[in-house]
Amino acid sequence: MKIIMFSVREDEKEAVKAWEERNNISVTTVGEDLSSANIDLVKGFDGLSIQQVTDLHDEAIYKKLADFKIKQISLRTAGYDVIDTEMAKKYKLTITNVPAYSPRSVAELVLTQTMRLIRHFPSLESHMAHGDFRWRGLVAREIHTLTIGIIGAGKIGSTSARLFHALGAEVIAYDPVRREELEAVLTYKESQKEVLEASDVVSLHVPIDLSTINLIDEEALNQMKPEAYLINAARGPVVDTEALINALEAGNLAGAALDTLTNEQGVFNQDLRKQELPDDLEKLMDRDNVLMTPHIGFYTTEAVRNMVDIGLNNTVEVLLNGKSENEVR
């Protein structure tokens, strides 16, 4: 069995090598994203693993893969919107993803950004960059005195809740699906509104779908306390960016930490030093109560290893058994 793996970053290579040795299966790695320009590289391989940001909605790609007798495409990511699932079906390609990889990776970023926000780091750092080392007015609150609101207590939300609970914070959550075992670390509320109204820090961990686009809009932001912080390490469109900028400018919110942004594609993980930034990003980055990170929540050694291992395991499962528990339907 031979597998070809596209979009392989340097930091994935060690995990790929270890997987090859454990499984005695050969994996050829390619740095570029899979596209119609390099599709012929797949010829002669049995399995295909990808992880890309560029779109794969070109029928010619699916046709070629079928011609090359490829049976599956394994994504090393949770999201699979780069794939045309109808095309995949037409050409009998089984698509798999990696639905969960180290929830700690994102939860620890959320904890880090919460601590940085409540200690006023964005403000302090911006003053210090200009030689102003005064701290008057920047008195911080301690984490164990705060109420942390989790919207969406799934894998990442519940892991974040456990971390905050361990530090003595009171954790409240809204999730239509309740898990009894979480009641040891958090208190469920009946509505999102109740969580927004009572929290000092609100952290979003919902999936993206039609019902969660702009979940945090002007009305929701108005329900938050003016001294509260908002954290979005879920997906950009969950927050209405314009409404957030307005709330920050009006002083209706103490600050925010964003690891994702609507329209982040083509911006995050790109070198834009010689280019103008999108307006909304520029406005957010100019503020001294906002922390931006370029969608790096997932980027830890453990999560990268999980994505490689699960992605390659899914490939083998489909090739050997024709199915996988991580099949995208």
Which positions are catalytic?
Answer: 235, 264, 295
Whether the Cβ atoms of residue 105 and residue 303 lie closer than 8 Å to each other: yes
Q: Pick the closer one to ligand NAD by CB: 47 or 297.
A: 297
> For the range 264-270, what are the long-range contacts, defined as Cβ-Cβ under 8 Å and sequence gap of 24 or more?
264/236, 264/294, 264/295, 265/53, 267/294, 268/294, 268/295, 269/53, 269/294, 269/295
Number of amino acids touching ligand NAD (CB under 6 A) = 30
Residue 185 in the binding site for ligand NAD (CB under 6 A): no
Choice from 56, 235, 254, 304 touching ligand NAD (CB under 6 A): 235
310, burial (CB in 10 Å: exposed 0-12, middle 13-18, buried 19+): buried
CB neighbours of residue 274 within 10 Å: 5
Residue 259 in the binding site for ligand NAD (CB under 6 A): yes
Q: Stretches 51-59, 141-149, 211-219, 317-325: which one binds ligand NAD (CB under 6 A)?
A: 211-219
What's the min distance (Å) between Cβ of 214 and ligand NAD? 11
Residue 106 in the binding site for ligand NAD (CB under 6 A): yes
Choice from 73, 161, 234, 310 touching ligand NAD (CB under 6 A): 234
Residue 240 in the binding site for ligand NAD (CB under 6 A): no
What's the min distance (Å) between Cβ of 183 and ligand NAD? 14
Choice from 295, 309, 312, 316 touching ligand NAD (CB under 6 A): 295
**What are the C-alpha distances in Å from 311 to residues 76, 125, 227?**
5, 40, 42
Choice from 10, 21, 211, 273 touching ligand NAD (CB under 6 A): 211
Residue 80 in the binding site for ligand NAD (CB under 6 A): no
Give 316-329 as a 3 state SS string. HHHHHHCCCCCECC
Q: Stretches 51-59, 202-210, 246-254, 284-292: which one binds ligand NAD (CB under 6 A)?
A: 202-210
> How far apart are the C-alpha atoms of 16 and 74, rounded to whole Å?
14
Residue 264 in the binding site for ligand NAD (CB under 6 A): no
Where do the H-state alpha helices sit in the chain? 10-23, 59-67, 85-90, 103-118, 121-129, 155-166, 192-198, 218-223, 241-249, 279-286, 301-321
Q: Pick the closer one to ligand NAD by CB: 85 or 145.
A: 85
Residue 100 in the binding site for ligand NAD (CB under 6 A): yes
Whether the Cβ atoms of residue 104 and residue 79 lie closer than 8 Å to each other: no
Whether the Cβ atoms of residue 8 and residue 33 lie closer than 8 Å to each other: no
Residue 206 in the binding site for ligand NAD (CB under 6 A): yes
Helix axes 10-23, 301-321, angle to 10 degrees: 40
Element (H, E) at 28: strand 26-29
Q: Give residues 122-181 in contact with ligand NAD (rule: CB under 6 A).
A: 151-157, 174-177
Q: What residue type is 74 in one-letter code?
A: S
Q: Up-side HSE of residue 27: CA atoms within 13 Å toward CB?
A: 29
Q: Pick the closer one to ligand NAD by CB: 46 or 159.
A: 159
Q: Starting at the earlier edge strand, list the strands of the sheet with 72-75.
A: 26-29, 2-5, 47-50, 72-75, 94-96
What's the min distance (Å) between Cβ of 57 and ligand NAD? 20
Residue 298 in the binding site for ligand NAD (CB under 6 A): yes
| Among candidate residues 194, 172, 192, the one with its CA nearest the CA of residue 183 | 172
Q: Which residue is nearest to ligand NAD (CB)?
A: 154
Q: Stretches 66-74, 114-122, 233-241, 306-314: which one binds ligand NAD (CB under 6 A)?
A: 233-241
Choice from 88, 220, 233, 261 touching ligand NAD (CB under 6 A): 233
Residues that bind ligand NAD (CB under 6 A): 78, 100, 106, 151-157, 174-177, 192, 205-208, 211-212, 215, 233-235, 259-260, 295, 297-298
